[in-house]
Amino acid sequence: MLVCEPVLVEAMFLLNRNPAAQDAILSSLENGSLQIAFHLDEHLPEIRALLKKYRDRPMSLADACLVRMAELFNRYHIFTLDSDFKVYRRHGRDPLKLIYPE
């Protein structure tokens, strides 16, 4: 699975009361089942544009990075619990492929 650092920061914060879950994330990075595949500094104009476009949501930096990653990788699904991803669009027009509990 591919991930970006802002998502890791958000996940670790949300799991701050569950050290075993935090450790599982770090172990997944160590064993390669989770890979950092996005560098924010290489996509700043696109991230800024996404944050501006979805300012009314408001879109987090982690959300913007995931939308940008969906634009970069043709084969993707975004696992999320955030309903805002139903509103976000790939390249401004295409709904995202989500793994989202209904």
pTM for the model stands at 0.93
Count how many domains the chain has: 1
Cβ-based neighbour number of residue 34 at 10 Å: 18
With a CB cutoff of 8 Å and minimum separation 6, the contacts of 87 are 54, 57
The pLDDT of residue 2: 97
What is d(CA 100, CA 10) in angstroms, rounded to the nearest whole number? 18
For 3, the token pair is: 């991930």
Per-residue pLDDT of the chain (102 residues; tens, 9 = 90+): 999 999 999 999 999 999 999 999 999 999 999 999 999 999 999 999 999 999 999 899 999 999 999 999 999 999 999 999 999 999 999 999 999 987
Q: What angle (nearest 5°) sits at the alpha carbon of residue 96, between those of residues 41 and 100?
A: 110
Minimal CA–CA distance to 79: which of 24, 11, 31? 11
Which structural domain range is residue 21 located in? 2-99
Task: Give per-residue burial for 50-84: e unless 16+ CB within 10 Å, then b.
Answer: bbeebeeeebbbbbbbbbbbbbeeeeeebebebee
The pLDDT of residue 13: 97
The pLDDT of residue 102: 79
